[in-house]
Amino acid sequence: MSYNRKTRPTVNECVEGILSGDRILLSRTITLIESQLHEDNQLARQIIEKIMPYTGNSTRIGITGVPGVGKSTFIESFGNLVVGQGHKLSVLAIDPSSKKSGGSILGDKTRMESLSKNENAFIRPSSARTSLGGVAHKTRETLLLCEAAGYDVIIIETVGVGQSEIAVHEMVDFFLLLMLAGAGDELQGIKKGIMEMADGIAITKADGENMNAAKKAKAAYQNALHLFPAAESGWSAKVVTCSANENTGIREIWQLIKDYGKKVKQNGYWQERRNRQNVAWMYEGIDEYLRTGFFNHPAIKSELGKITKQVENGQISALKAANHLTQIFEQKSING
């Protein structure tokens, strides 16, 4: 297919491109989603509406774990296995660092060197930071585009800082928690609430000297999981050990995810979970609409910087500032 790279592609160009698996048009559409421009978002919305009938057919896997747990190497090993079995894989990220200082977790494709070179793998760095929130919403839309482009296994990765795991959990079918064994347990420990969300736990770096500690941790976590109330899914979370370096345990995790899928598709929970996620998705869509309408309004755009500075300097209160901006918005919306 040929199109002009310098101009914006049309809705139909994007839709056809995505459905035919064109990576460049897929990327460009994701860029439209992540854009700060209202017109770009509008265009993205139209594209998504058209590709909707072709979505939903992937296994959506959420992967989380603290920095240092070996997420990139795990995803690389896991991804190579999955792609090697004939699947098309895409790796997306939710990066909550927008509100904190800190680097993007997928900013560098070289992190997953061999996987990123595979034509059946699509790795997308995390979306641009925005103070307007909506990162999760944009990730969901990106997921839909990937599904329409034929990716049937989608990994959504997050760095563990609390908010993001919850957001990821709300958009995946299977939630995998990566944990380190041994030294530093106190520090890297994951809270009960996060463990409770996990459908599977993988103890990483289970090799060499670490092997024993990993086995012990496996037993300990498996015991701990028994203490949780039975999950609605009828599935009991499993703990496995793995080593991305030695390429062990990776196959077991993929099998685990497939077993899970089989079980909960049978008992109806798979669809039930997705339906529930869709309601959250609807609310996010509304939020996104409201925020975009507000912060892209010319009158707000021209005032926001000044007012923010005044709040920062303590010249006006947060409440007065919010009132001032909402009043401007109300008047301008009424009077055009």
Asked if residue 123 binds a second copy (CB under 8 A), the reply is no
Question: Which helix (DSSP H) or strand (DSSP E) does residue 137 occupy?
Answer: helix 135-148
Shortest gap between Cβ of 103 and a second copy (angstroms)? 14
CA dist., res. 289 & res. 165, Å (int): 24
Distances (CA, A) of 36 to 98, 187, 306: 14, 37, 19
Confirm if 161 and 94 have CB atoms less than 8 A apart.
Answer: no
Instruction: Tell me the window of 104-112, 113-121, 216-224, 235-243 that interacts with a second copy (CB under 8 A).
Output: 216-224
Which of 27, 85, 49, 37 has the alpha carbon at shortest distance from 250?
A: 85
User: Applying CB under 8 A, which of residues 23, 302, 322, 331 lies at the interface with a second copy?
Assistant: 322
- 318 binding a second copy? (CB under 8 A): yes
Q: Is the dihedral of CA 250, 178, 152, 41 positive or negative?
A: negative
Is residue 299 at the binding interface for a second copy, with CB under 8 A as the rule? Answer: no
CA distance linking residue 113 with residue 111, whole number of Å: 6
Q: Which of 4, 306, 314, 335 binds a second copy (CB under 8 A)?
A: 314
| Rounded least distance, CB 327 to a second copy, Å | 10
Return the number of the residue (67 or 84) whose C-beta is nearest a second copy: 67
Residue 191 within binding range of a second copy, rule CB under 8 A: yes
35 lies in the binding site for a second copy (CB under 8 A): no
Q: Give me the least distance between CB of 222 and a second copy, in Å please.
A: 12
Residue 162 touches a second copy, criterion: CB under 8 A: yes
CA dihedral 29, 96, 307, 288 (to 10 degrees): 40
The residue within the footprint of a second copy, chosen from 118, 128, 289, 328 (CB under 8 A), is 289
Q: One symbol per residue from 38 to 77: x for binding a second copy (CB under 8 A), - otherwise; what is it?
A: -------x--xx--x-------------xx----------
In the complex with a second copy, which residue's Cβ is closer, 24 or 286?
286
Using the minimum distance from each CB to a second copy, give the nearer residue, 208 or 336: 336
Minimum separation from the CB atom of position 258 to a second copy (A): 23
Q: State in angstroms the smallest separation of the CB of 214 from a second copy.
A: 13
Q: Which residues pair with 90 in a beta bridge?
A: 122, 154
Residue 36 within binding range of a second copy, rule CB under 8 A: no
Residue 112 Cα distances to 31, 48, 93, 116, 256, angstroms: 21, 28, 13, 6, 23
Integer Cα distance of 88 and 146 in angstroms: 10
Residue with tokens 């993929």: 254
Q: How far is CA 319 from CA 292, 309, 314, 322, 333, in A?
A: 21, 14, 12, 5, 21
**Separation CA 316–CA 311 (nearest Å):** 5
CA distances from 187 to 178, 190, 217 (A): 14, 9, 15
Among 24, 37, 286, 299, binds a second copy (CB under 8 A): 286
The only residue of 19, 161, 211, 328 in contact with a second copy, by rule CB under 8 A: 161
Which of 9-17, 71-79, 118-126, 159-167 is the region at the interface with a second copy (rule: CB under 8 A)? Answer: 159-167
Contact with a second copy (CB under 8 A) among 283, 299, 301, 332: 283
User: Could you list the residues that contact a second copy (CB under 8 A)?
Assistant: 45, 48-49, 52, 66-67, 99, 131, 160-163, 165-166, 185-195, 217, 220-221, 224, 271, 274-276, 278-279, 281-287, 289-291, 294, 307-308, 311-314, 317-323, 325-326, 333
